[in-house]
Structure 1
Amino acid sequence: MSELVFTNVTVRFGHHTAVDDVSLTVPAGQVMGLVGESGSGKSTLAATAVGLRKPTSGHIRADGKVQMVFQDPYSSLDPRMSIGNSIAEAMPRGTDKKAEVARLLELVNLDPGRATALPARLSGGQRQRVALARALAGNPRVVIADEITSALDVSVQGAVLNLVRDLQRQLGLSMLFISHNLAVVRYVSDRIAVMKAGRIVEEGPAGQVLEDPQHEYTRELLAAAPRRHTRLEAS
């Protein structure tokens, strides 16, 4: 298990500051939910953790490999490549790729016999499962999930959330789970950080943040969130 630590991270695009002096720790083996409105800087912070953006200042530390699962399962997979090959592409050299692809597909509750299928033959929920398997193929110690249910039908969001929670516990992963939906973050997180205009305005154990929010913005998010999340039974 590995911590993911952001220390005084700032990211600027020209005169615009997307991330403003953020210090945040994703504890080893836990899920840190990061919630905030679109444009608050959540995805930019995630992109810096996997090297897609360079911080203007500050630094990021992870003791092991960090992998990211992106929002859109339709664009995150090569449409010309079978799902088995997409997963195998992320594996370390020397891996028995056929056996490992089968194991990972079973891990995300997909039939290993579908390894030769193209992404177009899968539903959105199934593609997101493939994206999860692909992220796990690199043997990461930290996984960043960036709005991974927001592009899915409501009817399948719960099944994917259940899978994410089960995989995190089973594999002992550290996870930064990003969403604009506080109801979703509430369901999967051990701790919650609230981001507004590039800054972390509140952070703490999930129960504490949800039951006794200290910042007005957190209270606004709570007031806007559904009291109960859409049915979370696997479908």
Structure 2
Amino acid sequence: MSGAAARERSRTMTDAATGAATTAAIQAASGGAAERPLTFGAVVRQSRARLPLIGAASLLGSLGTLALPLALAAAVDAIAAGGDARIPVAIAAGLVLLGVACDLVESTAATTCTADAAARLRTGMVRRLLGAPHRIGRFDTGDLVARISAGAADAAHAGPSAVGAVAAALPPLGSLVVLIWLDWRLAAAFAVGLTLVALVLRLFAKQTATAALHYQAAQGDMAARLTEALDGARTIAAAGTLGAETRRVLTGLPALAEHGRATWRALAAAGARAAVAGPLATIGVLVVAGFLVAGGRLSTGELLAAAQYAMMGAGLGSLTGIVAAVARSRAAVARIAEVHDLSAMSYGTDALPDGPGSLAFREVTVRAGDRVLLQDITFTVPGGATAAVVGKAGSGKSTLAETAVRLRDPDSGEVALDGSPLPALARSDLRTAVSLATARPALAGATLADAMGPGRPRDEVRAAAEAVGAHDFATRLPAAYDTPLPEVPMSGGEAQRIGLARAWHADRLLVLDDATSSLDLLSADRIEEALAATGRTRLVVTYDAALAARADLVVWLADGRVRATGPHDVLWSNPEYRAVFAR
């Protein structure tokens, strides 16, 4: 079931890519630079619009935190000396209010920044997935959904968490500077404890990053199995294997729980270590401060300030939350980067020259990893002619169909339309000239009209629907073409008609990958007649001997190679050719 489901999802996403524009062109072929790899630093830089505000609020809040002990020290010393403490108390109150205001600004800006970053990451991932449908076979749909949803949400915290980590380190470092100003011996005692806490955090960051990466991977695996189960829910119910399938879907729960516990264990261990290292810093500073007060080199207020600064150093352990956020974000960025590295298909700038729609394959070879899907494919379909592509299952027919409309590029060789190599053509010219309809079209859009002709005028949608026999079906619906797509009841044949209507706009080459297999013979013949009347070139993948007989040319594939080309009645004398149609 898993392999079949994966193949079906690949076909579905490939067909979806033939709709409206889904990805920006990466103009490497025409002189543009390829995009840089996605890294944690790159995600941080993408959030730079709001990071200055977050950083300013954090910095101002940190400065207020550092100034507060000195203001309190001045108030204590003024009271001890019998002086007026109203000014330092007022300053201390103002610093407290400043801290609250900075926290509010930082929180608001960080929330907005994270939401924008998540939207940007999700948009980029979707564009890449739909722009490179043939490159996503190594991912499962459920895993991709997990990366786009939860993964993007975690990765989006990269900017705020990085700024937060820097800002949270400022009070301890600032405390060290102030203690040096008060007395270098206080700073020395403080630095020892600060070093211990920093080592604790470094170990915690390493452990948390590993656990977060494993946790997110386990989430993706479980989502993948769930998606497979949902795709085959009817089969599972009919087979009575609900219990077994439930156990299969949830088989990753123990691993997920273990990775979650690993995160909590790392947090607990860091808290325990910080509980020892932090107080050591405070005790060391207080002991030294006590001797300095006894020697008259430190006032009572300064003793209070030194204690508070020492507590800031001990409070470095509170960075565990920020460190954990950075670790989760780094892990999520690493998983998203695997999708980001899928380069979308680049397009040229050439206009398609006038011509009848002649299609030429010249020594085309297509690979998927180490497997050869097509090898040295060479044939030409004259403009306005119909070519039938036949062969047994696995012979490479669908791969050839995808290559003909440039949903994938050959690893070697060339595909040309009216003499122009497909990669050299501008996107708008190519997508206006060619289109693909499949046996199981992926229908998307808010309404039936959207599914039939995304972004096209209503009169064009209706004309296409009439040509493929879908108009009567549409007008019987409650809101006709404006019926919400989820509310459109449809059989396999009706889905194919909608897919054909969507592909009908191609003005030179229409590729049909078994696209009328669910229609009755009369309907299929009428669509064929309508196509012939348009004068467009047709490349038809089929198992129907009668359709192959009516074609001007037959391309017979076997094991990814062209076994023979020619008229159907000539090839029919070969018993192996006849065996192709024995179903």
Q: Is TM more than 0.5 here?
A: yes
Tell whether the 8 Å contact from 2:367 to 2:411 is kept in structure 1 after alignment: yes
Gaps of 5+ in 2: 1-355, 419-429
Tell whether the 8 Å contact from 1:34 to 1:192 is kept in structure 2 after alignment: yes
Q: 108, 121, 125: which is aligned to 2:489? A: 121
Residue in 1 that maps onto 2:382: 27
In 1, the alpha carbon distance for the partners of 2:365 and 2:412 equals: 5
In 2, the alpha carbon distance for the partners of 1:49 and 1:100 equals: 24
Tell whether the 8 Å contact from 1:46 to 1:144 is kept in structure 2 after alignment: yes
Aligned length: 207
Residue in 2 that maps onto 1:48: 403
Matching of residue 104 in structure 1 with residue 464 in structure 2: yes
SS at match of 2:520: helix
In 1, the alpha carbon distance for the partners of 2:460 and 2:579 equals: 45
In 1, the alpha carbon distance for the partners of 2:359 and 2:462 equals: 29
Q: 534, 541, 559: which is aligned to 1:197? A: 559
Residue type at the aligned position of 1:221: V
Matching of residue 86 in structure 1 with residue 451 in structure 2: yes
SS at match of 2:395: coil
In 2, the alpha carbon distance for the partners of 1:10 and 1:208 equals: 27
Can you list the C-alpha shifts for 1:95-131, whole angstroms capped at 9, x where unaligned? xx12222222222222363312326422221221121
In 2, the alpha carbon distance for the partners of 1:172 and 1:104 equals: 15
Tell whether the 8 Å contact from 1:202 to 1:218 is kept in structure 2 after alignment: no
Matching of residue 18 in structure 1 with residue 386 in structure 2: no
Residue type at the aligned position of 1:203: T
Residue in 2 that maps onto 1:231: none
Can you list the C-alpha shifts for 1:168-201, whole angstroms capped at 9, x where unaligned? 211111111002x242543542211110000011
Tell whether the 8 Å contact from 2:549 to 2:568 is kept in structure 1 after alignment: no
Residue type at the aligned position of 1:8: E
Residue in 1 that maps onto 2:394: 39
The percent of aligned pairs where both chains have the same amino acid is: 31
In 2, the alpha carbon distance for the partners of 1:101 and 1:53 equals: 27
What aligned pairs does 1:1-235 form with structure 2 within 5 A after superposition? 1-63=356-418, 65-73=433-441, 76-78=442-444, 80-89=445-454, 91=456, 97-109=457-469, 110-111=471-472, 113=475, 114-117=480-483, 118=485, 120-137=488-505, 139-150=506-517, 152=518, 156-179=519-542, 181-186=543-548, 188-210=550-572, 212-213=573-574, 217-221=576-580, 224=582
Residue type at the aligned position of 1:135: A
SS at match of 2:482: coil
SS at match of 1:121: coil
Instruction: Kindly indicate which of the two structures has a greater share of residues assigned to helix.
Output: 2
Between stretches 140-149 and 194-203, larger displacement belongs to 140-149
SS at match of 1:37: coil
In 2, the alpha carbon distance for the partners of 1:23 and 1:90 equals: 35
Residue type at the aligned position of 1:145: L
In 2, the alpha carbon distance for the partners of 1:131 and 1:159 equals: 18
Can you list the C-alpha shifts for 1:118-164, whole angstroms capped at 9, x where unaligned? 26422221221121111113x431011012234x2xxx331342133
SS at match of 2:545: helix
Q: For residues 123 and 19 of structure 1, do their structure 2 counterparts lie closer, same or farther at Cα, with a shift above 3 Å needed?
A: same
Instruction: Kindly indicate which of the two structures has a greater share of residues assigned to strand.
Output: 1
Residue type at the aligned position of 1:67: S
In 1, the alpha carbon distance for the partners of 2:540 and 2:465 equals: 21
Between stretches 191-200 and 46-55, larger displacement belongs to 46-55
Gaps of 5+ in 1: 92-96, 226-235
TM-aligned CA deviation for residue 218 of structure 1: 1.3
Can you list the C-alpha shifts for 1:13-50, whole angstroms capped at 9, x where unaligned? 12211101000212211110010111111111111122
Structure of greater relative contact order (alpha carbons < 8 Å, 6+ residues apart):
1
Q: For residues 148 and 203 of structure 1, do their structure 2 counterparts lie closer, same or farther at Cα, with a shift above 3 Å needed?
A: same
| Normalised TM-score (structure 2) | 0.34
SS at match of 1:115: helix
In 2, the alpha carbon distance for the partners of 1:36 and 1:48 equals: 17
| Normalised TM-score (structure 1) | 0.79
In 1, the alpha carbon distance for the partners of 2:524 and 2:385 equals: 15
TM-aligned CA deviation for residue 57 of structure 1: 0.1
Tell whether the 8 Å contact from 2:549 to 2:567 is kept in structure 1 after alignment: no
